[in-house]
Amino acid sequence: MPLLLRLAARNILRQKRRTLLTALSMIGGYVLCVLSFSLSDGSYNNVIRIFTQDHTGHIQIHKDDYTTRPQLYKYISDPAGLYERLDSIGEIRAYAPRIYAPALSYAGEKNTPVQIAGIDPVREVSTSRLQQKISQGQWLATEPDADGYWQAMIGVGVAESLRIGIGDELILISQGADGSVANDVYLVSAIVGERHSWDSNKVFMPVDAARDFLNMGTGAHEIALLLRDENKVSEMTEQLRALYPELSIDPWMVVESTFFKTMESDKRGNDFTMFIIVFIVFIGVLNTVLMSVLERTREFGVLKAIGSRPVMISMLISLETLILALGSILLGMILGTPLIYWFANYGIVLPQPIDVGGIEFSHMTGEFSFSVFMRPALMITAFALLVSIPPGIRAARVPPVAAMGSY
């Protein structure tokens, strides 16, 4: 084997033109695959990251079947009892309680149906991107003002329907959790979101204000969790289910199943595109290796004439191809790393934002990870060995007399 290895290395160095052509084909194919995988994984993960940090979080805790059949009275009666345990779990980066209820809003002679969302002004900042979506005004105060009025933030749709702005009064009427009529007046502190975003018809208020409004005591309909590592969602979900079997604990893939299925369909379409790119690389490598073998037909004829076994010739071609593949992959990593790093940290701003499952995607970034570099490396190596088999068989089976007579 060492002799065969030395012979393969010598042949590679001796055949400069063919070696360069084959290496360039593999390097180009490797860099193209790495870039494609990086952009595919990066775009997918970026959309998920934006979506989960927008409002869902990675994991949600509810009571009973609130996820599928939300009702006002289905709330966790004492969420504060969970906080100490959640604080002790290092994988949880942040969490926030939330309250939801339908209501009818009034301002002057205008009215429109809205969805109340009670949020913790302190915890919500680190759990979602809601604060970053304020287009006018300021974030919620944690206490009512001197006159006893709580602040509320409204979606763009509510602001346009009621024709109100910052500092205006907003009247809400709903039903309390105890069956009573809930009504109160709030002062608009901010306008959030856009006309077609999910929060267009929302009214956000401090969670304590929502509890008073709905007569819920200290309850919460939902506790949204944000993890430090988004890849550990399933593992953390099972861990929390074991700790709190009486509660309904679901990952974002279940809570937002429609969005998840949309992303999975898009990813399958992406996989088909990746297959086409890899197939093109496969054909390019096959062509260069086959041409290299055809140009060396006389050389193989001489090797067979002096007693070389067919299997040795076949192994020699495979070994040469493998050495070229590994060397090309190493050079491809060196050349491709700065490019992938740039895409991962800066990316490309799309001229026209793309809507993916209700989330506006305006920036294409790559993924800089071990997987992005290793998957193409393994595929190129496997394909190089695979494409070396047919030329190796041909070289091993050609008669010495016919091979030595070729040009």
Residue range 275-303: average pLDDT?
70
pLDDT at 377 over 70: yes
Rounded to whole angstroms, the Cα distance separating 295 from 264 reads 46
| Domain definitions of the chain by residue range | 2-52+261-404, 97-216
Residues 16-70 have pLDDT tens digits of: 666 676 777 778 878 888 888 888 777 788 778 888 888 889 999 999 888 888 8
Q: Residue 264's pLDDT is what? A: 75
Q: Is the dihedral of CA 115, 84, 133, 136 positive or negative?
A: positive
Residues 114-137 have pLDDT tens digits of: 999 999 999 999 998 888 889 899
DSSP element (H, E) containing 10: helix 2-14
Q: Which one is predicted more confidently, 260 or 6?
A: 260
Q: Residue 406's pLDDT is what? A: 54
Rounded to whole angstroms, the Cα distance separating 382 from 286 reads 12
pLDDT at 3 over 60: no
Q: Is the CB of residue 389 less than 8 Å from the CB of residue 285?
A: no
Which residues does residue 202 pair with via DSSP β-bridges, in sequence order?
A: 115
* CATH code, 97-216: 2.40.40
Alpha helices in 182-256 (DSSP H): 207-214, 233-243, 252-255
Tell me what the pLDDT averaged over the chain comes to: 82
Q: Amino acid identity, residue 225?
A: L
Q: What is the DSSP string of 67-81?
A: TTS--TT--BS-THH
Q: What is the pTM of this model?
A: 0.74
- Residues 316/322/324/325 CA torsion (nearest 10 deg): 160
Rounded to whole angstroms, the Cα distance separating 196 from 85 reads 38
